[in-house]
Structure 1
Amino acid sequence: MARRFSSTRRSLLAGLGAAAAGISFGAMEGCADTYPIGKNGEEQRLNLYNWDTYTPKTTLSDFKRATGIDVHMSLFATNDELFSKLRAGNPGFDVIVPSDQFVTRLKISDMLMPLDLDKIPNHKNLLPQFQNPAFDPGRRWSMPYTWLVLGVGYRKSKMTGGVPDSWKWLMDSDQYKGRIGLFSEADDLMGLGAKYLGHSIHNISPEVLDQIARMYIKQKPNIKIFHNDEGQDLLLSGEIDIVMEYNGDIAQVMQEDPDLDFVVPKEGSILNSDCLCIPKGAPRPDNAHQFINFILDAKNGAAIYNTIKYPTPNAAALALMPASYRENKAIYPPPEVMAHCEYTEFEGLQRSRLFDETLTRIFAA
């Protein structure tokens, strides 16, 4: 599915600035800067195309210190933007960070370079469930960076009905009229609507899709905003009291306000994994493999996840994490709830267009 995640779900480090984050935003290729040639015969440079502020402030500088390779990071806001940038040919990126269903889309479009696992020995650090995913058997094309689950962020003091452990309170109730935030993304809304109505997020029938559309249209008067993935900020500022958001985003703001919490509804939810890939035509593939291996190192991974508060797919990194991270139910919801969650899959452009048309119908009603 053609998901279009906003950069704001990775907004923890917003405001630090490029210098504070150890990030340089030079031109992609052909800039005035020159770089020495490393022992591998490649220029000591790497171009990273990443979600905004999805990397702790010392990660890139630590990589340079360890390898001598200078990282130039460019930012994208959506998977569609990433795909469009690469459609006409790789402009010079060495590593990209697409979501799992876009790994499939990029692969079938012949826009990825296969990975050399011998150059990524730290792939052994992955948790078993991330070693052979359905969207990338054998990890030939991608390595996981994070995984995510959608749920309900809420202000505890405003929940008159107790813990909002059902999608009902967002989709099918006036209990919190005018204080509700939903995503504005078609794939999320359709998939989660299907979960609430007792169906899989996959192969949603036209009849169920129509039922979902009518449910959201009926609910519109109770909704404050269809947000672009800044739900955690709206919740923290008090503009809304209950919101559809990602676990890592809510875990971040929970550190600032103890009145905030997160729950995955009992009906289940959508899972996603953002991945590290090497795009076809990468000018420095060996540097790219070094960078991916660096990220999968236990100590480096622990520093990343302890900062961004998203769940890690890295068993070795997880072993180094404090109990405050490992036992945080916002980061790691209970297994009995997670059992009802499903990973997204790319189901083709026709399905994406159908979802977009349904969302247009909802917004126009």
Structure 2
Amino acid sequence: MSTITGRGLNRRSLLAATGAAAIGMTFTACGEKPKAAGAGGEEPKLNFYNWDTYIGETTLADFKKATGVDVNMSLFATNDELFAKLKAGNPGFDVIVPSNEFVTRMTQADMLTPLDHAKIPNIKNIDPTFLNPDYDPGRKFSMPYTWLLLGIGYRKSKVQGVPDSWKWLFDSDKYKGRIALLSESADLVRLSAKYLGHSLNNIPADMIPQIEKMLIKQKPFVKAFHDDNGQDMLLAGDVDLVLEYNGDIAQVMREDPDLDFVVPKEGSLINSDSLCIPKGAPRPNNAHAFINYLLDAQAGAAITKKILYPTPNAAAKALMPDSYKKNPVIFPPPEVMAKCEYGAFEGAEKASLYEEVITRVRAA
């Protein structure tokens, strides 16, 4: 039996009614005959380090049924936690799910194993626009799992019009005491820079004090800095405006028609979560087989129905209903996406600087 250990809710956590049950599937759908358990001298086991509730309801059990490989999934809550867990050496994980800039950071730190694309034929299912990202050119170390976009979740009956600017979160007392901000330091600094008219990357040094001053001024009007559970605060009525990911707000919009999501007119931050094999993985053959399985069309559709995040898997997306494919919250229109950017890893020193800024903001 696959086991799950870990923490509570985070940005990928789901409420009860998130959709249909996962589709049953077989490993032969991946285009190759399943190998016997323990092929290549590996034991029929795999350790998967993932975000909470970020998998299909039956995905792990179906993979075991088809291959004999038992998947043990343990959970992490932040990329920082993932990085710290593996920095001192891999404790036994075979597949991990870092976000885009951490793929770069872990590659630079020699913490990832190069992927053998010949063992991942389901790469053919990936939308070509996701095959050569700046954070991992040529997909040497990662395969795309999902992508995510930050914006403002809001309660329509409590907000005047559409809150289509970061101003309402970062630079206004209009909704004082009814705002929750994501606690991720880099995201807050970057989106503040976006509001002030700059790219969210390569923020000039003289803009950082301006951002800090603006957020300290705003802090008395902010009810909470949430740990990626802003959708729950919004649904419960604790706040009326929240900085949160599109998939999370799409989930609670099913629960409450008074909720909505907007990407501010200044643009926003895109993240992408990736499947990687950490250096020192004890079962690399099983790891490649599992990644290939997750990129299968039916397997990918089952995962997507459960988690409701935008999928880079074109074959899986094709199996999804129009209520998903044509949902502008999950897939914002091209003119909105044109103003959005991926955050780049710009070194540990800058990451520490952003953490220090937000620590001072929260202490103010």
1:212-231 correspondence to structure 2 within 5 Å = 212-231=211-230
What is the CA-CA distance between 1:269 and the residue it aligns to? 0.3
What is the TM-score of this pair, normalised by structure 1? 0.90
Q: Using the alignment, how far apart are the partners of 2:335 and 2:189 within structure 1?
A: 23
What is the CA-CA distance between 1:241 and the residue it aligns to? 0.5
Q: Using the alignment, how far apart are the partners of 2:129 and 2:174 within structure 1?
A: 38
Corresponding position of 1:121: 121
Does the C-alpha gap of structure 1 residues 261 and 82 become closer, same or farther in structure 2, counting only changes over 3 Å?
A: same
The DSSP-based 3-state class of the residue aligned with 2:176 is coil
Q: Using the alignment, how far apart are the partners of 1:13 and 1:289 within structure 2?
A: 31
Contact 1:190 1:212 in 2 (8 A): yes
Q: Using the alignment, how far apart are the partners of 1:362 and 1:85 within structure 2?
A: 28
Q: Using the alignment, how far apart are the partners of 1:89 and 1:15 within structure 2?
A: 39
What is the CA-CA distance between 1:234 and the residue it aligns to? 0.2
Corresponding position of 1:136: 136
Give deviations 1:316-361, integer Å, cap 9, x for gaps: 1111110000111110112111101000111001101111111122
Aligned residues: 341
Corresponding position of 1:8: 10
Give deviations 1:137-192, integer Å, cap 9, x for gaps: 111100011000000000111112x0111111111112211101111221010000
What is the CA-CA distance between 1:37 and the residue it aligns to? 5.3
Q: Using the alignment, how far apart are the partners of 2:97 and 2:315 within structure 1?
A: 21
1:57-76 correspondence to structure 2 within 5 Å = 57-76=57-76
Corresponding position of 2:281: 282
Contact 1:86 1:111 in 2 (8 A): yes
Runs of 4+ in 1 over 4 A off after TM superposition: 13-16
The DSSP-based 3-state class of the residue aligned with 1:89 is coil
Unaligned runs of 5+ in 1: 1-5, 21-35
Corresponding position of 1:91: 91
What is the CA-CA distance between 1:40 and the residue it aligns to? 2.6
The alignment's C-alpha RMSD in Å is 1.7
Q: Using the alignment, how far apart are the partners of 1:68 and 1:37 within structure 2?
A: 5
Corresponding position of 2:100: 100
What is the CA-CA distance between 1:134 and the residue it aligns to? 0.9
Contact 1:14 1:53 in 2 (8 A): no
The DSSP-based 3-state class of the residue aligned with 1:325 is helix
1:154 aligns with 2:150: no
Corresponding position of 1:291: 290
Contact 2:311 2:317 in 1 (8 A): yes
- Percent of pairs with identical residues: 68
Corresponding position of 1:326: 325
Contact 1:194 1:204 in 2 (8 A): yes
What is the CA-CA distance between 1:39 and the residue it aligns to? 2.8
Q: Using the alignment, how far apart are the partners of 1:264 and 1:66 within structure 2?
A: 41
The DSSP-based 3-state class of the residue aligned with 2:180 is strand
Contact 2:112 2:141 in 1 (8 A): yes
1:246 aligns with 2:245: yes
Q: Using the alignment, how far apart are the partners of 1:318 and 1:47 within structure 2?
A: 27
Does the C-alpha gap of structure 1 residues 8 and 164 become closer, same or farther in structure 2, counting only changes over 3 Å?
A: same
Contact 1:13 1:56 in 2 (8 A): no
What is the CA-CA distance between 1:15 and the residue it aligns to? 12
More deviation, 175-184/142-151: 175-184
Corresponding position of 1:49: 49
Corresponding position of 1:32: none
Which amino acid letter does the alignment assign opposite residue 304 of structure 2?
A: Y
Q: Using the alignment, how far apart are the partners of 1:39 and 1:58 within structure 2?
A: 23
